Chain A
């Protein structure tokens, strides 16, 4: 029973950064912008987040540093890919390379330092309930925030007029422009939201997951977040399933190895990727088929003035 609780806690901890980063990228892509720089924005968020928390002693300020850093990185992308209409794929890749280098530079002075990580919630009477107590009432703020965030994004995209306009920009920027919507401004805001989320997801790593900073500590999580957006077919609900499934299989394969299940560990390590692909493929098969990608995703838009 205790082990089950420990596993669920570990799954939530592992899934949260993926969920946050992927939520941001989902919004950016829904507006028609493919930003491959998630990994770069995340790692800069991690370095700045740690710096903020270390300098001020506050996890909250650290998280804000991460958000601001990610947003600034995304503005570089917006300037190039939206302002100057440079190829989005190339710009995104360049952003990742820039971010990896920049984070090493920013974080160089903080390597080897320690901070007190985010404190989990504790409600007397509720947090002690066996099995579900710590899972529901004993998480750190990032976990609750990530769930609130994806619900808010779902509500925004499908239940508000602004969300509808954002999706319209992603599906047909020419029509949206003809109707008088400021396509580039909307896209810039969406990209900034994506950057803020990636920065926060990056900051989560040194602030809650492993409370120290080391260059390269995102270790490819930004790329997984990008893949999750595609696999979720750009739908928030499926994104939640994908992120938690990926986290769950990651943790369970570690436990399976500890129990000595005689399956090669190399296969087990590949399992999270396999499981996520299979489940999400099945999900999209079950409903009406066809591509659900925003029709204008990744295409350059230059308004005629």
Chain B
């Protein structure tokens, strides 16, 4: 934080030294990051998006980012600081910035805001996120094929809908291959703590899981799976260097195209508040190459990916049966609708565990 503030201060000094006219010509775009840009996960991917943006529109815009900004009320100051520094479009890239972003947005109606993974909007505040459950479904298919013990290990961060829908999509897919598949779930209650994520992966493997999946941010679980000769899926980023013989695939977030599109709209004066939920079809994320699996499994994964991309396969196809044995109401015509997925707070049948807080 301190480092980035210094960078910001230095940036302001620089901006002050160039002629006022050229500084005024360029659109200023700000980013607020949760972690360090070197986290090789969530924040890293957002910064790759920012870099793609600079590459594409660098002559028309100027970007600033603040890294290591904690979620919650504290982030309000960071966001406001970007406003005061003259940024006209500000991306706040974590769920916990939702209320602070909204608060600042209401205070500065002439500045446009984009909040990742939240659900609160304003005439000058958009939201954007990705349908990661689609990738999780493909991972579930692969996991069920590759698991010898029939036990999958899943490291969760927090029991929020995004994570819960990922677990459900995984198990629904796995059940189509092996109806008796089991999943062991450990909540780390943190997004980022490499040591704890490694401990969780060890516990899952020691309890018999042979395919590890994670919804936390560091490559620790991948590294443990690799060390123990098990298989694993990466998260947010390419993690194959931490498990050359372990990584099956990884969900790789790709924010660049979206950032470019939104900044172009801002430059053209056509920006308006929207809710974007992109999937495989809109390339909001991509699947890393399918590795460490036989060709037939790879083909199955590629076929599933193609079917989901084409809209022929929906991971939450009805009927969906909840843990209580009752079918879930089908609001989306043949599958659950977006609202149901975005607010998912139940486990599907076949998960032995209890959802925390239920």
User: Which residues of A does B touch, CB under 8 Å?
Assistant: 2-3, 6-7, 10, 13-14, 17, 97-98, 100-101, 104-105, 107-108, 111-112, 114, 205, 209-212, 214-217, 219-221, 250-251, 254-255, 257-260, 262, 264-266, 268-269
A264 to B35, CA, bound (A): 27
Q: Tell me the smallest distance from the CB of A18 to a CB of chain B, in Å.
A: 10
- How far is A257 from B355 in the complex, measured between Cα atoms in Å? 11
- Inter-chain contact A258/B204, CB cutoff 8 Å: yes
A254-B199 contact given A210-B223, A259-B207, CB 8 Å threshold: yes
Q: How far is the CA of A269 from the CA of B190 in the complex (A)?
A: 10
Q: Shortest distance in angstroms between A40's beta carbon and chain B's nearest beta carbon?
A: 11
Chain B residues near A98: list those with CB within 8 A. Answer: 2
Known: A262-B354, A266-B356. A254 touches B186 (CB 8 A): yes
Chain A min CB distance to B160 (Å):
12
Q: Are B159 and A209 in contact (CB under 8 A)?
A: no
- Bound-complex Cα distance A260 to B195 (A): 22
What is the interface of chain A mostly: helix, strand, loop, or mixed?
helix
Say whether B38 faces chain A, with CB atoms less than 8 Å apart.
Answer: yes
Q: Which residues from A are CB-within-8-Å of B38?
A: 104, 107-108, 111, 214-215
Cβ of B159: which chain A residues have Cβ within 8 Å of it? 265
Those of B181-222 within 8 Å (CB) of chain A: 184-190, 192-196, 198-200, 202-204, 206-207, 218-220
Question: Which residues of chain A come closer than 8 Å to B180, judged between CB atoms?
Answer: none
Contacts of A219 in B (CB 8 A): 190, 192-196
Q: Are A214 and B39 in contact (CB under 8 A)?
A: yes
Inter-chain CA distance A2–B192, complex, in Å, is 29
* Cβ distance B3 to chain A, nearest Cβ, rounded Å: 4
Residues of A within 8 A of B353 (CB): 257, 260
Q: Is B187 a contact of A257 with CB atoms below 8 Å? A: yes
Q: How far is the CA of A262 from the CA of B185 in the complex (A)?
A: 12
Q: In the complex the two chains form, what is the Cα distance from A269 to B202 in whole Å? A: 17
Q: Is B40 an interface residue (CB 8 A)?
A: yes
Q: Find out whether the CB atom of B242 lies under 8 angstroms from the CB atom of A114.
A: yes
Whether B311 is near chain A, meaning CB under 8 Å from some CB there, is no
Q: Assess whether B278 is interfacial by the CB under 8 Å rule.
A: no
Give 4 A-B pairs besides A98-B2, A250-B199 with Cβ atoms closer than 8 angstroms.
A3-B206, A10-B206, A14-B199, A221-B195
Answer whether residue B273 sits at the interface, using C-beta atoms and an 8 A cutoff.
no
| Bitwise interface map of B from 208 to 249 toward A, beta carbon under 8 Å scored 1, else 0 | 000000000011100110000000000000000110000000
Q: Are B195 and A6 in contact (CB under 8 A)?
A: no
**Contact present for A266 and B189 (CB under 8 Å):** yes
Q: How far is the CA of A268 from the CA of B187 in the complex (A)?
A: 9
- In the complex, B350 has a CB within 8 A of chain A: no
- The residues of B that contact A268 with a CB separation of less than 8 Å are 187
Given contacts A101-B3, A212-B223, contact A257 B186 (CB under 8 A): yes
Residues of A contacting B185 in the complex (Cβ-Cβ under 8 angstroms): 257-258
A111 to B41, CA, bound (A): 11
- Shortest beta-carbon distance from B51 to chain A in Å: 15
Q: Which chain B residues lie closer than 8 Å to A114 at the CB level?
A: 223, 241-242
- Kindly state the separation between the CA atoms of A205 and B199 in the bound complex, as whole angstroms: 12
How many angstroms between the C-alpha atoms of A71 and B36 in the bound complex?
25
Complex Cα distance, B356 from A259, in Å, reads 14
